[in-house]
Amino acid sequence: MEKIPYKIYLTEEEMPKKWYNVRADMKNKPAPLLNPKTLKPMGYEDLRPVFCDELIQQELDDTTAYIDIPEEIRNFYKMYRPSPLVRAYCLEEKLKTPAKIYYKFEGNNTSGSHKLNSAIAQAYYAKKQGLKGVTTETGAGQWGTALSMACAYFGLECHVYMVKCSYEQKPFRREVMRTYGAQVTPSPSDTTEVGRKILKEFPGTDGSLGCAISEAVEAATSHNGYRYVLGSVLNQVMLHQSIIGLESKIALDKYGVKPDIIIGCAGGGSNLGGLISPFVGEMIKGNADYQIIAAEPASCPSFTRGKFAYDYCDTGMVCPLAKMYTLGSGFMPAPGHAGGLRYHGMSSTLSQLYADGLMEACSVIQTDVFAAATEFARCEGILPAPESSHAIKIAIDEAVKCRETGEDKTILFGLTGTGYFDMTAYKSFNDGNMSDYIPTDEVLEKGFATIPDVKL
């Protein structure tokens, strides 16, 4: 076998032409979304006021395994994809580990993350439907940037509700979105009913994804020609993000490499879900076995300390309910530096896979994450996003275990993005001012109390 290159790039011909829908192969399907008013499963017509038509079909489709990627989207993908699958030779050497470490790097585009994979798809379907614009929320700012780019490309209006703590920590993110022509509002804001309500209930809050979602949904449904789009959690997003896992698998297969461990950071599940989809598909079919690990922040531990239950997707309870691992829609995460992982819930597909024992989860504290990020940056060159660094931390831990046991496991992790807009967080770490927050059981109980008692 020839030496594995530092970076494996697929050719345009090798790039996937279809997304993979893991739900089609799952034995236990993820539970359906529920109408927040009737608590009944939502169908196509129920979702039409909020979402784009074709995206609803993708959302509800749990039987079609492969879905064509339209040519317009594939052409956009060609501008920044394939993303490289990188062999972390330098990190391996630094750790003196017999493990082989690979990472799929999704940060080489202006949005700085994998979010563009779904943003361009969602903007495409909105344009195809003849809409005027879309609204959305953004946490770390990566999704909002990605959507702004996608909307600029297709000539759609874009209104972004940005979680206030990120809006303040990342002033330049807003400017990137503006450069792409988007309108950006810090959330919670007084521009929506739900925003005003949240501000009244939690004065001084620096927001959460859950709040911002509520505001964006309200803005979409109260303006003609608008729909709401979401960068994570939903099945459609996981479908679009399967491009990450598909490319990774093609690249590894090309060199006859089979990963033993697959790691991804998990906030709402968009990256992890996309990365693992085709691998999980193989597991379900009994063709292969992998150890899959979700890396989540100890400050917002949906998988490791949450409950598997139906819950509201947003703080304002205007969105559908999903069955998922959740800390409760009323859980208000403490300020922290991984805005993209501050979500109380989790993709219901990933939740079902976790409940079925097809994956594990592990939580990590913030200072450990930044120490891993810095170590990684210094030997692999890339300055990682705080979110991505949760996966780096677990990957390093696994590689160190291999050093101790002598096993030469193959580790694959998702490096979802870059940290160029997270220098406030790095500064806090460099200055030694970063603290770690782990919610007490009491805090969690308060969140759990907001989970409705729904049984289907």
Contacting positions for a second copy (CB under 8 A):
5-7, 9, 11-12, 75-76, 78-80, 86, 89-90, 108-110, 112, 149, 152-153, 171-172, 175-176, 178-181, 374, 377-383, 418, 420-421, 423-424, 426-427, 430
Q: What is the length of the chain?
A: 456
How far apart (Å, rounded) are the C-alpha atoms in residues 308 and 312?
12
Paired with 18 in beta bridges are 68
The nearer residue to a second copy, 182 or 321, going by C-beta atoms, is 182
CB of 179 to a second copy, least distance (A): 5
**DSSP-derived 3-state class of residue 176:** helix
Nearer to a second copy, 146 or 359 (CB): 146
**275 vs 382, beta carbon nearer a second copy:** 382
Nearest-approach distance from CB 168 to a second copy, in angstroms = 14
Distance CA 308, CA 324 (A): 5
Instruction: Name the minimum Å distance from CB 263 to a second copy.
Output: 20
* CB nearer to a second copy: pick between 81 and 344: 81
Q: Minimal distance in Å, beta carbon 406 to a second copy?
A: 26
CB of 276 to a second copy, least distance (A): 25
Grouping H, G, I as helix, E, B as strand and the rest as coil, residue 429 is: helix
CB of 67 to a second copy, least distance (A): 23
CA-CA distance, 266 to 301, in Å (whole number)? 10
29 or 427: CB nearest a second copy: 427
In the bound complex, what is the minimum distance in angstroms from residue 423's beta carbon to a second copy?
A: 4
What CA–CA distances, in Å, run from 86 to 83, 119, 151, 332, 399?
9, 24, 30, 36, 16
211/213 Cα distance (integer angstroms): 5
Among candidate residues 204, 200, 110, the one with its CA nearest the CA of residue 164 = 204
Q: Give just the sign of the alpha carbon dihedral 265, 270, 274, 279.
A: positive
Which of 306, 442, 415, 443 minimizes the C-alpha distance to 86? Answer: 415
Give the nearer residue to a second copy in terms of CB position, either 20 or 370. Answer: 370
C-beta closer to a second copy: residue 344 or 393: 393
Q: Are strands 360-364 and 291-297 parallel, antiparallel or unpaired?
A: parallel
Least distance from a second copy to the Cβ atom of residue 231, Å = 17
Nearer CB in complex with a second copy: 111/135: 111
User: How many whole angstroms from its chain centre is CA 337?
Assistant: 15
Is the C-alpha dihedral spanning 242, 245, 249, 250 positive or negative?
positive
What is the DSSP-derived secondary structure letter of residue 453?
A: -
| Residue with Cβ nearer a second copy (200 or 427) | 427
Does residue 314 contact residue 329 with C-beta atoms inside 8 Å? yes
Query: If we measure between CA atoms, which residue out of 97, 52, 130, 26 comes closest to residue 375?
Result: 97
CB of 110 to a second copy, least distance (A): 4
Q: Helices (DSSP H) in 202-234: which residue ranges?
A: 209-221
H/E segment holding residue 249: helix 235-254
Nearer to a second copy, 32 or 417 (CB): 417
Beta carbons of 35 and 202 less than 8 angstroms apart: no
Cα distance between residue 164 and residue 185, in whole Å? 9
Q: Which is nearer to a second copy, 290 or 376 (CB)?
A: 376
Q: Provide the minimum distance between the beta carbon of 414 and a second copy in the complex, in angstroms, as a whole number.
A: 18
CB of 281 to a second copy, least distance (A): 28
- Strands 66-68 vs 18-20: parallel, antiparallel or unpaired: antiparallel
